[in-house]
Amino acid sequence: MSQSLLMPKATAVWLVDNTALSFDQIAAFCTLHPLEVQGIADGDVANGIMGVNPVQNGQLTREEIEKAEADPNYRMKVSEPKVRVAAPKRKGPRYTPISRRNERPNAIKWLVRNHPELKDAQIMRLVGTTKSTIDSVRENTHWNSANLTAMDPVTLGLCSQIDLDLEVKRASKDAPAQADLAEGTTLMTAEEALARAGGHSGGTHEADNPFEDMGSGSRSRDADEELDADSVFAKLKSLKSDTSDE
């Protein structure tokens, strides 16, 4: 069927009372079991339910009923609605079934661990919880924190993958700005520091070659050592000549 049928049992009651359709045809149209339709006809099922005319509510046409009455093997189809009503937008926290409410702390732990960029309001929308519960799970002060296990809220059925991706995308809008800030605090290499120092000093010879003075200093020190050695040998020769004269 193209869409779900409104009030299937009430519709089946009306079809049993007002048409010559078989139990199988009514059961296929109303998504019921043929024995259930037979029980409606016998008065054992749906006792006290008032029949609803599917022709008046626009879910079935009179031509479709006549076509099915003429051919027992024909299966009726729900008519397409003439006006489509937009689904109302959900406001406030998501409703969580009672059977799933015990899984919310596990989902919160998964969201806090895997998507720390999400705000508390976003987690509240996804899981249908409160800020105090989120804080207790994040700070490990939840009454059952020792037994909590991080579990995907999509797998738990607490939210859809589309809703989760949408909230993550909203939370990551500021990520490029943070990346630029981190890039600006990167340390410069030694070559970049020397090049920048050379630019500030006006490109002088000393800034371009900072190691030249070190080389000249080492050469002058070597020359001094050679001079000291010559003077030592000269003194030794003079002493030797003095002893020989004596």
pLDDT in tens, 48-90: 788 889 998 888 999 999 999 999 999 998 887 765 655 555 5
* Domain presence at residue 127: yes
* Domain presence at residue 115: yes
Going by pLDDT thresholds of 50, 70 and 90, the confidence category of residue 145 is: confident
pTM attached to this predicted model: 0.37
Nearest-angstrom CA–CA distance, 35 and 41: 10
Q: Percentage of the chain with pLDDT > 70?
A: 61
Query: What integer pLDDT is reported at residue 227 of this predicted model?
Result: 52
Nearest-angstrom CA–CA distance, 24 and 212: 103
Query: What integer pLDDT is reported at residue 109 of this predicted model?
Result: 92
Domain boundary, last residue among 156, 173, 190 = 173
* Tally of structural domains, the chain: 2
Range of the domain at 39: 8-70
Per-residue model confidence as pLDDT tens digits over 191-246 = 666 666 665 544 444 445 544 554 445 555 555 555 556 666 676 667 656 555 55
Query: What integer pLDDT is reported at residue 86 of this predicted model?
Result: 56
Per-residue model confidence as pLDDT tens digits over 8-52 = 889 999 999 999 999 999 999 998 999 999 999 888 887 778 888
* Domain presence at residue 212: no
Average pLDDT of the chain, as a whole number: 76
Nearest-angstrom CA–CA distance, 124 and 158: 11
| Alpha-carbon 215 to chain mean position | 60
Query: What integer pLDDT is reported at residue 84 of this predicted model?
Result: 61
Q: Judge whether 59 and 79 are in contact, CB under 8 Å.
A: yes
* Domain presence at residue 61: yes
Query: What integer pLDDT is reported at residue 196 of this predicted model?
Result: 65
Among 2, 31, 3, CA closest to 12: 31
Is the domain of 108 the same as that of 53? Answer: no
* Domain presence at residue 238: no
State the amino acid at position 114 in one-letter form: N
Query: What integer pLDDT is reported at residue 70 of this predicted model?
Result: 93
Is the domain of 65 the same as that of 128? Answer: no
Domain boundary, last residue among 173, 190, 219 = 173
Interacting residues of 51 by C-beta distance below 8 A, sequence separation 6+? 10, 11, 13, 14, 15, 16, 17, 18
Query: What integer pLDDT is reported at residue 175 of this predicted model?
Result: 56
Per-residue model confidence as pLDDT tens digits over 156-187 = 888 888 888 888 888 887 655 544 444 445 55
Among 55, 56, 58, CA closest to 66: 55
